[in-house]
Structures are given as structure tokens and as C-alpha cells.
């Protein structure tokens, strides 16, 4: 039995202008947005609209809103993709299941570069509920609740007490990048949940320093599309303060 279509959400002119300002690519099949940190993708508990609800700004009269193809954590910024039609949603959903949508992230980690500076992290994860909060934990691969998880990484720059790394998840587990980096002793700066530093080399960390910088995926109309989102000013500013300039 299919789920009923969600009821339209009434948005203010300011909310409509805000979400339209996040668009970095749009065509007949899809919309890509640069999600800011602090905005829940779906199911937020605070009394503000989620990105999913804000997508009603793009709905045509009598039509459903675009639907998100994937999610980003509330405090993660970057590229997020929504399908404008049912065929596009089905196509991209299948591409996601087949791991044909490739994501590239940037993260600031402490206390320095991973050792080795590049490679992969393969550690199974399991979900744990503590009160109303959900956590992911590294666990043995034969644990009853284990989910396989793999992350490729490489160090882009290193400064005093921190490093800038590029991350390419090969699986899409909740909090995967955050838990994998913490598991090798390099938690993401600002990630209080998994041991990330809130001050680095005297610099306050404003939020989780994780940014979904690029998405590469098969387009419903054919070919491959790559979409990039600029690193937000707060993360770029911290990287500069920590001497984490990427080598060209």
C-alpha cells in the first residue's frame, strides 16, 4: 500500500526566497541545492521547516513538491539533490542503491593528518539509541546489527593541530564519515557527539566542519553530471586560520 502524498506546506515569502537562493543547478528533472549547516534535511525536531518542507516552494499548482534523493546531517553543509518528477526520482533512487552516485566531502580533522595520509577505512557500524538520540558505533563485522561501511580518504593540507581531508564514502551509513574518522583518532572538528575538538589552535570551531563539496551521478536524461558547492565562509575561514591551504 503506497503512502499518501504529503500535504502542502504553507511557506512565508522569506522562506521561499531563502530556499530559492540555495539553488546551484536546476533543469527539467532535478534541482541541486547548497544546504547550509543548521538546516535539517528531513524530520527535524525544532519548530522550523526542514529542507524537505521548503521544497514546496518549487511545487507547481496541483503537483507534488520535488523529493529529496538523499540526506545530509543537520550540521553538514553542501550539495543535496532533489528530483522534480516521479521518473527522475525512481531513476536516481536506483542509481543511489547501485552506488552510482559518488559524493566527495571536505573535513577539518584534529589533531593532525591521518596516518597514513591517504587510504581507506573499513569498519562495520551499528546503530545505538541513547534516549532520543541515535549514535553509530564501530563494531565487529559479525555483530548481529553490523552494517558494512567503507570510506576512502586523502589528506589535502596539514597545519598546527589540524588537517584538511577529502572523503569519498563508498557506503552511505548514518554518521559514517564522522564515526570512521573518530575511529582512527582523527575526529572532525566541531563534532561534539563523536569527540571532535571545539577549539583548535586557539580558534573556536563554529560547527561540525564537514562539507559535501561535490556530487557526480548519472543524469536521468543521459550522461554523467557533476555538481559542486563552494565551501561555506565559516569553514573556509577556519581552514585559513589554521594554515590549511590546499596545494594547487
> Which run of H or of E encompasses 245?
none
Which residues on neighbouring strands pair with residue 157, listed in sequence order?
164
Radius of gyration of the chain (CA): 19
Which residues on neighbouring strands pair with residue 199, listed in sequence order?
204
- Dihedral sign for Cα 76, 188, 114, 152, please: negative
Residue 27 appears among annotated catalytic residues? no
Residue from 27, 52, 73, 142 carrying the catalytic annotation: 73
Extract the C-alpha cell encoding 171. 557506503
Q: If you search the block for the grid coordinates 595520509, which residue do you land on?
A: 117
Q: How far is CA 63 from CA 9, 31, 122, 138, in A?
A: 13, 16, 43, 43
**Considering only CA atoms, which of 145, 136, 165, 171 is closest in space to residue 153?**
165
Tell whether omega for the bond before 78 is within 30 degrees of 0, i.e. cis.
no
- Dihedral sign for Cα 160, 239, 136, 146, please: negative
Report, as residue numbers or ranges, the catalytic residues.
73
Amino acid at each position: 500500500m503506497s503512502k499518501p502524498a504529503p500535504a502542502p506546506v504553507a511557506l512565508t515569502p522569506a522562506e521561499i526566497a531563502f530556499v530559492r537562493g540555495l539553488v546551484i543547478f536546476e533543469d527539467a528533472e532535478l534541482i541541486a541545492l547548497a544546504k547550509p549547516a543548521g538546516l535539517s534535511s528531513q524530520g527535524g525536531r525544532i519548530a522550523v521547516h526542514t529542507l524537505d518542507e521548503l521544497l514546496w516552494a518549487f511545487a507547481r499548482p496541483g503537483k507534488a513538491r520535488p523529493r529529496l534523493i538523499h540526506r545530509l546531517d543537520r550540521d553538514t553543509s553542501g550539495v543535496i539533490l532533489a528530483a522534480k518528477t516521479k521518473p527522475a526520482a525512481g531513476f536516481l533512487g536506483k542509481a543511489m542503491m547501485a552506488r552510482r552516485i559518488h559524493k566527495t566531502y571536505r573535513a577539518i580533522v584534529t589533531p593532525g593528518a591521518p596516518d597514513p595520509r591517504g587510504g581507506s577505512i573499513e569498519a562495520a557500524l551499528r546503530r545505538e539509541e541513547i534516549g532520543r538520540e541515535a549514535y553509530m558505533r564501530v563494531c565487529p563485522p559479525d555483530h548481529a546489527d553490523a552494517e558494512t561501511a567503507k570510506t576512502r580518504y586523502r589528506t589535502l593540507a596539514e597545519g598546527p593541530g589540524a588537517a584538511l581531508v577529502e572523503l569519498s564514502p563508498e557506503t552511505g551509513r548514518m554518521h559514517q564519515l564522522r564515526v570512521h574518522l573518530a575511529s582512527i583518532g582523527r575526529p572532525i572538528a566541531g563534532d561534539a557527539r563523536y569527540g571532535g575538538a571545539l577549539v583548535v589552535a586557539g580558534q573556536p570551531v563554529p560547527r561540525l566542519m564537514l562539507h559535501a563539496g561535490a556530487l557526480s551521478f548519472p543524469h536521468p536524461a543521459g550522461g554523467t553530471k557533476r555538481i559542486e558547492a563552494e565551501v561555506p565562509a565559516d569553514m573556509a575561514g577556519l581552514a585559513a586560520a589554521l594554515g590549511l591551504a590546499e596545494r594547487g
